[in-house]
Chains A and B, each alone.
Chain A
Amino acid sequence: MTQKTKYNFFIITILITLFVVFNGLIYTSNENENPIKLTEQGLHGQRLWQENNCWSCHQTYGLGGYLGPDLTNVYSAENKGPLYIKAFLNSGVKAMPKFNFSEAEKEALVTYLKFIDSTGYYPNYNAKFKPNGWVELEYKNEK
Chain B
Amino acid sequence: MKNKAAIIFLITALSALLTGMLFGLFAALQYLIPEFLKELIPFHKMRPFHVTTVITWIVLCATGSIYFYLTQIEKLKLFSNKLMKLHLIVFLITGLGIYLSYIFGRMEGREYLAFTPILTIPILFGWLLFGINYFKTMLKQVKNWPVYYWMWGTGIVFMMIHLTEAHLWLFPYFREHVIKDLTVQWKSYGSFVGSWNMLVYGISIYVMARIKGNDAIGRGKLAFFFYFLGLTNLMFGWAHHTYILPTQPWIRYVAYGVSMTEWIILGYMIYDWKKNLSQTKKDSYPLAYRFLVTTDFWIFINLIIALLFSIPAINFFTHGTHITVAHSMGTTIGINTTILFASLLYIVSKISAFSKKQETLIKRGLWGFNITLFLFFSALLVAGAKRSHWMYAGNDTSFSNMQDSLFWVYMAFFVFGIALTTSISIIGLPILKKLINSLRV
Q: Which residues of A are at the interface with B, using a C-beta cutoff of 8 A?
A: 2, 4-5, 8, 11-12, 15, 18-19, 22, 26-27, 29-33, 36-38, 43, 46-47, 50-57, 59-70, 94-95, 97-98, 115-116, 119-125, 127, 129-130, 133-135, 137, 139-140
Contacts and interface: CB of A to CB of B under 8 A. Distances in A.
Given A47-B108, A50-B109, A56-B47, 19 more contacts: A19-B235, A19-B236, A26-B184, A27-B184, A31-B180, A53-B44, A53-B45, A53-B114, A56-B44, A57-B44, A63-B320, A67-B30, A68-B399, A94-B34, A95-B43, A121-B246, A133-B311, A134-B256, A135-B313
A5 B145 contact: yes
Nearest to B320: A62
B325 interface: yes
B48 interface: yes
A2 B144 CA distance: 6
A29 B248 contact: yes
Contacts of A127: 316
B226 interface: no
Nearest to A137: B246
A60 B182 contact: yes
B243 interface: yes
B44 A15 contact: no
B232 interface: yes
A61 B322 contact: no
Contacts of A5: 143-145
Contact of A63 (B48, B182, B311): B182
Interface in B17-50: 30-31, 34-35, 38-39, 42-45, 47-48
Given A18-B235, A37-B176, A94 B35 contact: yes
A62 B176 CA distance: 20
Nearest to A47: B108
Contact of B316 (A12, A116, A135): A135
B231 A63 contact: no
Contacts of A137: 244, 246
A61 B47 CA distance: 20
A119 B178 CA distance: 8
Given A127-B316, A135-B312, A33 B43 contact: no
A135 B319 CA distance: 13
A32 B182 contact: no
B146 to A, nearest CB: 11
Contact of B321 (A26, A47, A66): A66
Contacts of A59: 320
B272 interface: no
Interface in B343-401: 387, 391-392, 399-400
Q: Which residue, of B45, B150, B178, has the highest number of chain A Cβ atoms within 10 A?
A: B178
B43 A67 contact: yes
B418 interface: no
Contacts of A98: 39
In the A-B complex, the 10 residue pairs with the smallest Cβ-Cβ separation, listed nearest first, are A62-B320, A95-B34, A120-B246, A56-B44, A37-B176, A53-B44, A69-B399, A135-B312, A133-B311, A94-B34
A94 B400 contact: yes
Contacts of A68: 399
A32 B178 CA distance: 10
A10 B399 CA distance: 53
A17 to B, nearest CB: 11
B304 interface: no
Interface in B126-179: 143-145, 150, 168, 172, 174-179
Contact of A32 (B42, B179, B224): B179
Interface in B308-338: 311-316, 319-322, 325
B247 interface: yes
A123 B395 CA distance: 11
B176 A32 contact: no
B206 to A, nearest CB: 18
Contacts of A120: 179, 245-246
B258 to A, nearest CB: 10
B289 interface: no
Interface string B238-262: 0001111111100100101000000
